Amino acid sequence: MNILPRLNVSSKEYSATTTFAQNQNRGYMAVYTDANAVTVELGDTGDAFILPANSVWEPRVCPTSTIKVTVAAGAFIAVTNHQE
């Protein structure tokens, strides 16, 4: 049984560095990488983590702060209920 509420989500492919604006209504966010790694920065702290190639980042609690995904090569897919 799925305990998560159903959300109307969509996916979009990005091939350049993308910043998702702060959004208090963002209820879901996932990032899928292709054959290249990306860097994900939450908020304006400057702290970031590397999301390896061919992987998924799907936080249990969706961040509502800014989310910056930096792409050096390739692309990533963002799945969210609020596309930019």
Q: What is d(CA 43, CA 55) in angstroms, rounded to the nearest whole number? A: 22
Does residue 25 lie in a domain region?
A: yes
CATH classification at residue 36: 2.60.120
Does residue 4 lie in a domain region?
A: no
Residue 1 has pLDDT above 50, yes or no: no
> What pLDDT is stored for residue 67 in this prediction?
94
Number of structural domains (the chain) is: 1
Does residue 3 lie in a domain region?
A: no
Pairing mode, strands 67-71 and 38-42? antiparallel
Does residue 6 lie in a domain region?
A: no
The pLDDT-based confidence of 4 (bands split at 50, 70, 90) is low
Does residue 70 lie in a domain region?
A: yes
Give tens-digit pLDDT for 15-74.
Answer: 999 999 999 988 899 999 999 999 999 998 888 999 999 999 999 998 999 999 999 999
pTM over 0.95: no
